[in-house]
Amino acid sequence: VIGLVIGKTDVRSFPDRKNIGTERYTFNFTIRDSPTYFINVQSWGREEYVRSLSESFRVGDCVTIENPLIQSKEAEREEKFNPVTPSGYKLLLSENHSVVKTSSCYNTDTRLLALLHLPVKDPQDYYSLGDIVANGQSLHGRVLNVLAAVMAVSE
Protein backbone atom coordinates (compact mmCIF):
# COMPACT_ATOMS: atom_id res chain seq x y z
CA VAL A 1 0.00 0.00 0.00
CA ILE A 2 1.37 3.42 -0.94
CA GLY A 3 -0.14 6.52 0.62
CA LEU A 4 0.36 9.96 2.07
CA VAL A 5 0.47 10.23 5.88
CA ILE A 6 -2.34 12.66 6.79
CA GLY A 7 -2.39 12.14 10.55
CA LYS A 8 -0.32 10.57 13.29
CA THR A 9 -0.54 10.04 17.05
CA ASP A 10 2.21 10.09 19.65
CA VAL A 11 3.70 6.84 20.94
CA ARG A 12 1.86 5.53 24.01
CA SER A 13 2.52 2.62 26.34
CA PHE A 14 0.21 0.21 28.14
CA PRO A 15 0.85 -2.54 30.70
CA ASP A 16 1.25 -5.87 28.92
CA ARG A 17 -1.43 -8.24 30.22
CA LYS A 18 0.49 -11.32 29.10
CA ASN A 19 3.85 -10.33 30.60
CA ILE A 20 3.14 -8.70 33.95
CA GLY A 21 5.59 -5.91 34.74
CA THR A 22 6.35 -5.07 31.10
CA GLU A 23 4.78 -2.58 28.72
CA ARG A 24 3.64 -2.66 25.11
CA TYR A 25 3.92 0.39 22.89
CA THR A 26 1.65 1.65 20.14
CA PHE A 27 0.98 4.53 17.80
CA ASN A 28 -1.46 5.11 14.97
CA PHE A 29 -1.36 6.97 11.71
CA THR A 30 -3.71 7.52 8.79
CA ILE A 31 -2.74 7.22 5.14
CA ARG A 32 -4.60 8.37 2.06
CA ASP A 33 -4.16 7.39 -1.58
CA SER A 34 -7.10 9.18 -3.20
CA PRO A 35 -9.64 11.91 -2.37
CA THR A 36 -12.12 9.25 -1.29
CA TYR A 37 -10.06 6.53 0.38
CA PHE A 38 -7.96 6.61 3.53
CA ILE A 39 -7.29 4.04 6.22
CA ASN A 40 -5.96 3.94 9.76
CA VAL A 41 -2.76 2.03 10.51
CA GLN A 42 -1.86 0.74 13.97
CA SER A 43 1.51 -0.46 15.21
CA TRP A 44 2.09 -2.41 18.43
CA GLY A 45 5.29 -3.83 19.81
CA ARG A 46 8.46 -3.31 21.77
CA GLU A 47 9.42 0.26 22.65
CA GLU A 48 12.48 0.28 20.36
CA TYR A 49 10.48 -0.89 17.34
CA VAL A 50 7.51 1.44 17.84
CA ARG A 51 9.58 4.54 18.62
CA SER A 52 11.93 3.90 15.71
CA LEU A 53 9.02 3.42 13.31
CA SER A 54 7.21 6.50 14.60
CA GLU A 55 10.32 8.66 14.20
CA SER A 56 10.98 7.40 10.65
CA PHE A 57 8.25 9.54 9.05
CA ARG A 58 5.97 12.51 9.70
CA VAL A 59 2.67 13.90 8.46
CA GLY A 60 3.08 14.82 4.80
CA ASP A 61 5.48 11.98 3.96
CA CYS A 62 4.67 9.23 1.50
CA VAL A 63 4.99 5.70 2.84
CA THR A 64 4.95 2.24 1.33
CA ILE A 65 3.59 -0.41 3.68
CA GLU A 66 4.50 -4.01 2.92
CA ASN A 67 2.85 -7.06 4.50
CA PRO A 68 0.39 -5.41 6.89
CA LEU A 69 -2.26 -7.49 8.58
CA ILE A 70 -5.72 -6.41 7.44
CA GLN A 71 -8.13 -6.43 10.35
CA SER A 72 -11.79 -5.49 10.80
CA LYS A 73 -12.03 -2.36 12.88
CA GLU A 74 -14.16 -2.01 15.97
CA ALA A 75 -15.79 1.22 14.83
CA GLU A 76 -17.30 2.29 18.13
CA ARG A 77 -14.07 1.88 20.10
CA GLU A 78 -11.45 2.84 17.54
CA GLU A 79 -13.11 5.86 16.02
CA LYS A 80 -13.04 7.68 19.34
CA PHE A 81 -9.29 8.11 18.92
CA ASN A 82 -8.75 7.96 15.14
CA PRO A 83 -10.30 9.59 12.09
CA VAL A 84 -13.50 7.91 10.91
CA THR A 85 -12.55 6.15 7.68
CA PRO A 86 -14.74 4.92 4.82
CA SER A 87 -13.31 1.41 5.22
CA GLY A 88 -14.49 -1.28 7.60
CA TYR A 89 -10.84 -2.28 8.05
CA LYS A 90 -7.55 -1.07 9.50
CA LEU A 91 -3.98 -2.08 8.81
CA LEU A 92 -1.95 -3.60 11.64
CA LEU A 93 1.84 -3.50 11.51
CA SER A 94 3.89 -6.34 12.91
CA GLU A 95 7.56 -6.02 13.84
CA ASN A 96 8.33 -9.45 12.38
CA HIS A 97 6.38 -9.23 9.12
CA SER A 98 5.63 -5.63 8.11
CA VAL A 99 7.90 -3.04 6.53
CA VAL A 100 7.29 0.71 6.23
CA LYS A 101 9.44 2.66 3.77
CA THR A 102 9.34 6.41 3.30
CA SER A 103 9.89 8.16 0.02
CA SER A 104 9.38 11.55 -1.52
CA CYS A 105 5.91 12.09 -2.94
CA TYR A 106 7.62 13.69 -5.91
CA ASN A 107 9.34 10.36 -6.56
CA THR A 108 6.23 8.28 -5.86
CA ASP A 109 3.26 10.19 -7.27
CA THR A 110 2.86 13.98 -7.26
CA ARG A 111 -0.94 13.57 -7.17
CA LEU A 112 -0.61 12.36 -3.58
CA LEU A 113 0.63 15.79 -2.44
CA ALA A 114 -2.76 17.37 -3.21
CA LEU A 115 -4.43 14.96 -0.77
CA LEU A 116 -2.71 16.42 2.30
CA HIS A 117 -5.12 19.33 2.63
CA LEU A 118 -8.41 17.57 1.84
CA PRO A 119 -10.77 17.18 4.79
CA VAL A 120 -11.54 13.64 5.94
CA LYS A 121 -15.17 14.51 6.69
CA ASP A 122 -18.12 15.05 4.37
CA PRO A 123 -18.24 18.75 3.42
CA GLN A 124 -21.91 18.84 4.45
CA ASP A 125 -21.10 17.59 7.97
CA TYR A 126 -19.45 20.75 9.37
CA TYR A 127 -20.55 23.68 11.48
CA SER A 128 -18.88 27.04 11.00
CA LEU A 129 -17.93 29.09 14.04
CA GLY A 130 -20.71 31.53 13.06
CA ASP A 131 -23.28 28.69 13.16
CA ILE A 132 -22.11 27.71 16.63
CA VAL A 133 -22.29 31.28 17.94
CA ALA A 134 -25.77 31.80 16.43
CA ASN A 135 -27.19 28.43 17.52
CA GLY A 136 -25.14 27.65 20.63
CA GLN A 137 -28.07 26.84 22.92
CA SER A 138 -29.69 24.38 20.52
CA LEU A 139 -26.32 22.64 19.95
CA HIS A 140 -25.56 22.21 23.67
CA GLY A 141 -24.40 18.67 24.47
CA ARG A 142 -23.95 17.59 20.83
CA VAL A 143 -20.67 16.45 19.29
CA LEU A 144 -19.90 18.67 16.29
CA ASN A 145 -17.42 18.79 13.45
CA VAL A 146 -16.03 22.31 13.16
CA LEU A 147 -14.54 23.85 10.05
CA ALA A 148 -12.32 26.80 10.92
CA ALA A 149 -9.01 28.35 9.95
CA VAL A 150 -6.20 29.40 12.28
CA MET A 151 -5.69 33.14 11.90
CA ALA A 152 -2.75 33.58 14.25
CA VAL A 153 -0.51 31.67 16.62
CA SER A 154 1.25 33.35 19.54
CA GLU A 155 2.46 32.79 23.08
pTM over 0.85: no
3-state DSSP of the chain: CEEEEEEECCCEEEECCCCCCCEEEEEEEEEECCCCCEEEEEEEECHHHHHHHHHCCCCCCEEEEECCEEEECCHHHHCCCCCCCCCCEEEEECCCCCEEEEECHHHHCHHHHHHHHCCCCCCCCCECHHHHHHCHHHHCCCCCCECCCCCCCCC
Q: What is the pLDDT of residue 76?
A: 67
Q: Per-residue pLDDT tens for 112-152?
A: 777 777 777 777 778 888 888 888 788 888 777 887 778 89
Q: Which domains does the chain have, with CATH numbers?
A: 2-114 (2.40.50.140)
From first to last of its 155 residues, the chain has per-residue pLDDT tens of 889 999 899 999 988 888 888 888 999 999 998 888 899 999 999 999 999 999 999 988 899 999 999 999 886 666 666 777 888 899 999 888 999 998 766 555 667 777 777 777 777 778 888 888 888 788 888 777 887 778 899 99
